[in-house]
Structure formats: C-alpha cells, structure tokens
Chain A
Amino acid sequence: MLEISGLVSGYGRIDILHGVDLRVGKGELVALVGVNGAGKTTLMKTIAGLIRPTAGRIAFEGAEIAGEGAERAVGAGIALVPEGRMVFPRMTVWENLMLGGVHPRARPYREATLTKVFDLFPRLAERRDQKAATMSGGEQQMLVIGRGLMAQPKLLVLDEPSLGLSPLLVQETYGALRRLNADGLTILLAEQNVKLSLAVSSRGYVIENGRIVLSGASSDLARDPATRKAYLGRL
C-alpha cells in the first residue's frame, strides 16, 4: 500500500533522512523503531505531507504523493497522529473530532465514524464537551487517535503514541490499535519503545541516523542482538 524509496528529507538545508526505503502492505501493522533524533518524526511528517522531501518517492496505492502537501495525503487516505499529540487546546473533544473529519473525503461519514470512535474510547464520550487542554495525557492521546480515525484513513500513521503515558494507558492504547488493525486498518507505528512496538506488529524497521539499518519480521527483530546494538548505538 505504501512504498517509500530513496527518501531524503529534513528541515531547511539540514537533511535528517538520507535515503530511506520502507514498505507497508495492506492490512499490516508495521513498526518503526529508533532513538530520539534518528529520524522517525521527520519520516512520519514527510509521509503525512507536512514536510517536502528533497529526493525520493512516496507511492500510496500506486499514486505518487511525495511533496504534495498534507491535504493531498489526507485526500489519499493517510492520517497522522502526531508526536506530542497536538490537540486543539481550546476546543472541546467533540469539536476536535469534528475537525478530524472535515476533509471532503471523510465528511459524509462523520456521524457514523464519530459513533465508532466513541465506542472505541468510551472515556471520550464522557468528556464530549470538555476542552481538550484540560484533559490528561492519556485522554488526549485517545482523542488524537480518534481524530485521526475521523479522517477515514486507509493508513493510520502514529508517532510515539506511548510517550508520556502510564503503563496502564499504554496497554489501553495499544489494545485499541490491535483491535483497529484486526478490523482491517493498516497501521504504521513509530516508537522508541522497542519491546512494545515489536510485540504488537508483524514487521518492523530499525532507523538510525536517518537510514534504515535493519528490517524484517518483528519476532526476528526482537530476538536479534543487532537490534539492540543499533538501538543503543555505539558506546
């Protein structure tokens, strides 16, 4: 579904990604692990259209979308749940979710999707009229996942959803992701938490200094000492 080849991207004159190749098949749950600064967020933002790459291709369902902007990405069916959550702080849960479905592609299904989101995250339903800024980290995380779902994505991309969450909330969040994937949603998950992300995914990639250094089945990667070495870096 998603084919990335030779992707070079960064901020201004500084390149963070130095030629990344990555593939996500339909229905898969793929993990991307790497330390802080390895390039996960840059890669996620480039896929979502927030950053324009300087070289390389991003093909989604056969169509080339690299560098065409966030609106094109959402229109194609990619939704990013960004690092740091990025809720709309002074708007309510309901308003945040409604905004998630504001793109013409998703708008006709808004009411139905809203019901599904509230089913998936009952806590959000309880806090429907609460301002997003007053919610806890875990609730905000649920909110932005729900918001991403409102865009009717074919591919849900998540950037460090477990950051700053208590273990219990992490389990809840991951449980929701597992359920969504089981229902057919393709997911690409970027995480620092190696154990967790490899446990929930079928395949994985390890990124270091802007390059993919390892890839394979998640169970293999989890056992491979090279993963740990690449992850911890040279000491």
Chain B
Amino acid sequence: MSGEVLLQATVQGLQMGAIYALIALSMTLIFSVGGLLNFAHGDFMVLAMYGALALYQSVALDAYAAAPLMFFGFFLLGFLMFRRLVQPVLAAGVLAGAQLTLGLVFVQENFLLMVFGGDYLSVPTVLSNKNLVIPPLIMPWPLLVASLLAVVMAAILYVVLMRTDFGRQVRAITQNSDAAALMGIRVGRIQAIAFGLGIGMLGLTGAMIVAQFTLTPTMGLDFTLIALIVMVIGGLGSFAGSIVAGAIIGVSESLGSLFYGGTVGAMIPYAILILVLLFRPHGLMGEH
C-alpha cells in the first residue's frame, strides 16, 4: 500500500467527512431545538437531489445554480411541516415523532420511486467528471467543491448560532425552554424557523453534492444513519464535536474500504456507533 494511495483515501475521507458533518449539524439543529429524531433526514436531502435532477431536465438549470432555490423551497417545506405535522405529533411524545419520520421515509422513497423509477440516475453539472490534480492527489471537482461549501455553510451556521440574537434564542431554547419563554421568546415560532433552517440546509446540501453521487430512491436511509452516527459520536449539541466526528467517520469509512473492502468499510461506522452509545453516551466531545 503506497503512501500516495493512503493519502488519497485520507483526503477523500476528510472531504466526505465534511459533508457528513454538515448533514449531522442540520440533524442536530432539528433534534435539539425541535425535539425530533428525524429518520427521514437523509431522504429530504435525496428529495432535493432529485429535485435538482428535475430542474436540470426541465429548464436546464445547473445543480449549483439551483442550490439557493432549493434552500428557500426546503426552508418553507420544513417550516410548514413543523407547524402542521411535527408539533402536533410531538405532543404525543418523542417516540411518536420518530415513528412519524419513519412514515415519512416510506412516503418519500416511494414517491421518488414512482416519479423517477428505480434505475440509477445521475445529474450532469458543470463540474462533473472533472478533476483537480495536485500531485500526488487526484481530486474530483464535485467532491472538492461540495466539501468546501460544506465547510463554508458550517461556518455560517456557527456565526448565526453564536453571534446573532436569533442564534442565541435558539440556543436558549435548547438549554432551558421554560426560561426562554420567560424572556418573552416565542418558542414555537423559533422552533419552526430552526426546523425550517435545518430542512433548508438539507435542500442546499443535496443540490451541492448531487454531482458526486448516483441517485437511487432508497439512498436516503444510508445518509440518515451516517448523520445519526456522526451526531451521536460528536455529542449532541456540540458544534466542534460534529465536525470532528464527521472527519473520523469519513476517514475510517474510506480507510476501512481501502484495507478491507467496501462492506467492512460500511460496517465500521455502525460498530463505532454501538460502542459510543454503550460506553460514552454523551459523545466524544459532548457536555455534562
């Protein structure tokens, strides 16, 4: 195993890790503010990916240009979904919410299956099939751009959460929602906006990464599980934790595939999840 191959795999792992981290951050937002464990998280992103495909096929709009549209569209979707569907169901408990999202998985996957069929599809973009070569690395442009955009988005999210009034309100709700209400904060409204933000991010992420993947209707669950793993390992609510965990999962998956083959590589994140849930339930960098 040459050093070059190792380096290549590691870089690729880090890039995928950045994307995983971003998906995990949006999932964390929804979980800690909205109180919902969203099994349909990955499916929303895949919905956006197919949406980018549809836009390309109908109006020849490149996926990267469609990204902002996706963000706003999905923000609206998330906002309405929270108000009409999630909030009423969560009144019956956390598990009811989780069950709801399982139902949504079904709805989304089969909707996509019905509309687009089960064949593997891909979306041509301006960057598809082009590589950036910085010897000894050969980096596909789509993955590189996606990972860089993921880092930028994470940074923007960080600034919003830490330095704006809105972000402070969001964090206040996750730390003590009764006290937040006492400040006159409209908790339900902020939750709905945060939820919309989380889903909107998924829309944006989907459009950003669509050039890197082949689409199939059932791929959403895999993303959901990876995001769950990153979220749990990083420690719920820990921003830095999600980033680090994303890197860990991305690299271990990549190196695992390199040394032991694809299936074992896919198994590693699950094994790590089980170990973390058992032995360090607050994640590697979580608080308390």
A contacts B directly in the complex (CB < 8 Å)? yes
- Report which A residues bind B (CB closer than 8 A): 48-50, 69-71, 73-75, 79-80, 82, 86-91, 95, 98-100, 102-103, 105-106, 147, 151
- Contact check, A103 vs B175: say whether CB atoms are below 8 A apart: no
Using CB atoms, name the residue of chain B closest to A81: B182
Q: Roughly how many angstroms separate A98 CA and B183 CA in the complex, as a whole number?
A: 10
Q: List 24 A-B contacts (CB under 8 A).
A: A69-B181, A70-B181, A71-B184, A71-B186, A73-B184, A74-B182, A74-B184, A80-B182, A86-B179, A88-B180, A89-B175, A90-B175, A91-B168, A91-B171, A98-B165, A99-B168, A99-B169, A99-B180, A99-B185, A102-B165, A102-B168, A102-B169, A102-B185, A151-B183
CA of A147 to CA of B172 in the docked complex: distance in angstroms?
Answer: 13
Q: Is B287 an interface residue (CB 8 A)?
A: yes
Taking the closest CB of chain A, its distance from the CB of B282, in whole angstroms, is 14
Contacts of A91 in B (CB 8 A): 168, 171-172, 175
Please name all residues of chain A whose beta carbon is closer than 8 Å to the beta carbon of B176 when the two chains form the complex.
86-89
Is the Cβ of B184 less than 8 Å from the Cβ of A86? Answer: no
- Residues in chain A near residue B175, CB distance under 8 A: 88-91
- Asked if A151 contacts B178 (CB within 8 A), the reply is no
Q: Within the assembled complex, what's the spacing in Å between the Cα atoms of A29 and B181?
A: 25
- Once bound together, how far apart are the Cα atoms of A106 and B165, in whole Å? 13
- A78 vs chain B, min Cβ distance (A): 10
Give the residue among B175, B178, B183 with the most A Cβ atoms within 10 A. B183
What are the residues of chain B within 8 A of A98 when measuring CB–CB? 165, 168
- Annotate B189-201 by CB proximity to A: 1 below 8 A, 0 otherwise: 0000000000000
* Min CB–CB distance A154 → chain B (angstroms): 14
Nearest Cβ in chain B — how far from A147, in angstroms? 8
- Number of B positions contacting A (CB below 8 A): 17
A69 to B181, CA, bound (A): 9
**Cβ-defined contact, B169 with A70, below 8 A:** no
Contacts of B179 in A (CB 8 A): 82, 86-88
Q: Which of A82, A90, A105 has the most chain B CB within a 10 Å cutoff?
A: A90
Please name all residues of chain B whose beta carbon is closer than 8 Å to the beta carbon of A103 when the two chains form the complex.
Answer: 183-185
Q: Are A70 and B184 in contact (CB under 8 A)?
A: yes
Cβ of B280 to closest chain A Cβ, rounded Å? 19
Does A151 contact B171, Cβ atoms closer than 8 Å? no
Q: What 8 additional pairs, Cβ within 8 angstroms, besides A82-B178, A88-B180, A103-B183?
A: A74-B184, A82-B182, A87-B176, A88-B179, A90-B175, A91-B168, A95-B168, A103-B185
Q: What is the CB-to-nearest-CB distance from A129 to chain B, in angstroms, rounded to a whole number? A: 13
B181 CB, nearest partner CB in chain A, Å: 4
A185 to B186, CA, bound (A): 26
Complex contact B183–A90 (CB within 8 A): no
Bound-state CA distance A50–B165 (Å) is 22
B82 to chain A, nearest CB (A): 18
- Let me know if A102 and B182 touch, CB within 8 A: no
Question: What CA separation (Å) do A92 and B261 show in the bound complex?
Answer: 48
Q: Known contacts being A71-B186, A90-B287, is A99 close to B172, with CB within 8 Å?
A: yes
Specify which chain A residues have a CB less than 8 angstroms from the CB of B171 in the assembled complex.
Answer: 88, 90-91
Distance in Å from the Cβ of B158 to the closest Cβ of chain A? 15
